[in-house]
Amino acid sequence: MAPNASETTSLVDKNKDEEENMRRLKGYQGWAFFVTFGGYFMAHFSRKCYSTVKQQLQTQAGYSPLILSEMDTVFMGTYAAGNIISGKLGDTFNPTTVLAIGLFGSGFCLFLINVSLWYDFVGFSMTLGNFFIIAVYFLFGFFQSTGGPVGTAVMGNWFCDKKSIENRGLIFGLWTCHQYCGDVTAAICTAMVLGAGLPYWWALLIPALTNFGWGFLTMRLIADPADIGIITPEVRIRMEKLAAKRAEQGDHIQDEGPAPITYANALKIPMVAQYAFAFGFFKLTNYVLFFWLPYFLGKHFDPVTANLIASLYSVGMMPGGIIVGYVSDLFGGRRASVIGTFMGLLFVFLFIFSKNSESLTAIPLLVMLGIMGILVGGPNNIITSAVAADLASHPSVRGNNKSLGTVTGLINGCGAITASIGLLAVGPLQAAFGWSSVWLFLMACTFTGTALMGTKIRDELFPAPAGYAEVEANLAV
């Protein structure tokens, strides 16, 4: 039977509504990308600026290597807890507010560190100086933790159309360049400050000011398309679930919006726990290099050269996420297999470093650190973005866009806990056995993390006989 006029009109109106929703969704995606990109850029700009002046904090400010190591550990501990908490806060409250608080708080902590340097707290009292800077860095870790899980959740809210999901790896691979752009900018900023003969504390004051500025910009961000009446696929699924529930229980059932997922239910999503533990070892490898490369290179080169060489590691990390994301998209979301390949190659480079790091000249170091940046950056970028979005799209939580922040926070937080514990070994290792022992330690971390993903890699490469739909469901996570 041909549709009557009213049915045809209804269908046309529905199509027009969907086109308008898609137009509005696509129109805001670029701005959401830009603001969240900049927010996490500021976080890494802040962190890296501290690590680039470690040598000056030791030689000019009077902080001991032990205190600098403890600062790293305290930061990673509070950053880990903060990720888990921030992800949940972003799913429970307005994500824009959580992101802005993180930026304002980070800027304030850096300003307080500058105050301690200007007034020479260590010179006045070693105990006071050490306690103050560790206490500030304790808070700094919490504020820094908002950018990852909450920013990823906002990205997931806006990039939810079919085309974006098909290209999720590439989109998030490009987006996660924020952290490495921040790292490179910090290294260049410090090199310019030192090269111009300015006091080294300017390398901490500049990111403090830029964090405040970006915080005000972030406050204007719309975190969820539904907040401005855009009906996304996730909202449509929720509406369908509500309609089915009303059909069973009556029209008195009200739409209270998506409820935030609990930690227990998030951990029940297949592969969340495995990825969280595997990512911990990958994150430890990254953060040892992130925190300690400028310090290590500063033993062999002048501060400006050391920071410029170290920046090549961050430069290499940028295309890593794009490559892993794009290739995994091409192979239907088989991200674990691509990550495993990158980690295997990194193992080889770390072995070479363990044998020759003390004797390498600038040019070989530039080449090796650039390649190692690609191999480390790809897996780290994708696990906490595209993989987390895949996990949060599991059928058990479809129609609930209040899960991505919690899932991302759990993965990033568990990873940071592992990294904070592992960082305790770096100082004693390099002091007792030299830097070759640190590279061997990172080799062990790389192997362990890859081994934890072994079952997923096997399932991707050799899927068990099943129906096409079941295989696709398995690959989705």
Structure tokens at 442: 């990172």
Cα–Cα–Cα angle for 339, 284, 72, rounded to 5 degrees: 150
Decide if pLDDT at 399 tops 60.
Answer: no
Decide if pLDDT at 157 tops 80.
Answer: yes
The confidence band for 21, taking pLDDT boundaries of 50, 70 and 90, is confident
The confidence band for 448, taking pLDDT boundaries of 50, 70 and 90, is very high
Under 8 Å CB-to-CB from 21, ≥6 apart: which residues? 230, 231, 232
Q: 318-348: per-residue pLDDT in tens?
A: 788 899 999 989 888 888 899 999 999 999 9
The confidence band for 54, taking pLDDT boundaries of 50, 70 and 90, is confident
Residue 423 near residue 76 (C-beta atoms within 8 A): yes
Residue 110 near residue 48 (C-beta atoms within 8 A): no
Q: Which helix (H) or strand (E) holds 435?
A: helix 435-452
State pTM to two decimals. 0.80
Which residue did the predictor score with more confidence, 235 or 14? 235
Q: Could you give the percent of the chain with pLDDT greater than 70?
A: 87
Q: 162-220: per-residue pLDDT in tens?
A: 888 889 999 999 998 888 788 889 989 998 999 888 999 999 999 999 999 999 999 99
- pLDDT for residue 13: 54
Under 8 Å CB-to-CB from 329, ≥6 apart: which residues? 166, 167, 168, 169, 170
In angstroms, the CA 232 to CA 301 distance is: 54
Which residue did the predictor score with more confidence, 25 or 307? 25
Residue 81 near residue 142 (C-beta atoms within 8 A): yes
In angstroms, the CA 105 to CA 37 distance is: 18
- pLDDT for residue 146: 92
Residue among 26, 1, 64 at smallest CA distance from 431: 64
- pLDDT for residue 1: 47
In angstroms, the CA 212 to CA 137 distance is: 17
